[in-house]
Amino acid sequence: MKFEIFDLGLTNFRQSWDFQKSMLLRVKQKELSSALILCRHLPVITLGRSGKKENILAGDSQLKKLNIKTYEVERGGDVTYHGPGQLCIYPVIDLANFKKDINWYLRSLEALLLDVLSDFGIKAQTQSGLTGIWVKQKKIASIGIAIKNWITFHGASLNLKNDDLANFSLIRPCGMDIIMTSMEGILNQEVRFDKVKRVLTRRWHEASSFAGTGRRN
C-alpha cells in the first residue's frame, strides 16, 4: 500500500470535501495506506457537529454579498472560517494502523503544527482543555476532525496571511470570543504557501506516528 500527498491548490470547500470522502473510501478499501490533502479554500464558513448558528454573526444578506457559503459538516467543534489566506491540512489515516485513540491523534496534529511553526521561528503553544494552537492569547491554527470506521478526515487550518483575518469577524470562532492571528502577523513579513507546504510535508515524513510504520494497538 502507498501513502500519497495531494495538493488541491485553491478550491471551493465542496470539492475538497468530496475529495476527502473519495480518499477515505480508498483507504478503507486498502488502495492507499493514508493520504495527506493540502488546499486553500475560497471564503467559506463551516459548522461542526456542536456548531451553533448564533455563532455566525453575519446575516444571510451580508454573507451573500460577500459570496461566502455556509456548510454543516461532520467534523467536531463549532463554527470556523476558511479562506485563501489559510493552509488547510486534511489527513486521511486509518488509525487502526497506528493507535485507536482520538485524543492521541489530536495531540499528534497539534505537535505537527507546533513543529512547523517552530521552524519559522514562531513560539506557539496549546491551551489546556482546548484544541488548536495559540501564540500567546491569539489563535493561529484550528483543528476539527471527523472519524469514520477509525479513518480520519477533515483536520486543521493554519493561518498564513494577514489580509484574510478580517472575515473571522463574521463569526465567533470555535464558539468563543477569541482573536485570530497569522504567521505574517507574528513575523511581520510575507509568508509563502510553497515554503510552508515544504516544511509541513518534511515534518510529516519525519513524524513516525504518521508517515512511518505506525504503532499498532
Q: Could you list the active site residues?
A: 174
In angstroms, rounded to a whole number, what is the distance separating the alpha carbons of residues 44 and 63? Answer: 9
In angstroms, rounded to a whole number, what is the distance separating the alpha carbons of residues 58 and 172? Answer: 10
CB 79 within 8 A of CB 56: yes
For 117, left (φ over 0), alpha (ψ -120 to 50), or beta?
alpha
Enumerate the H helices of 81-131 as residue ranges.
Answer: 102-119
Instruction: Give the SS3 label for residue 19.
Output: helix
Which of 95, 77, 187 lies closest to 142 in space, CA to CA? 77
In angstroms, rounded to a whole number, what is the distance separating the alpha carbons of residues 131 and 171? Answer: 18
In angstroms, rounded to a whole number, what is the distance separating the alpha carbons of residues 19 and 213? Answer: 25
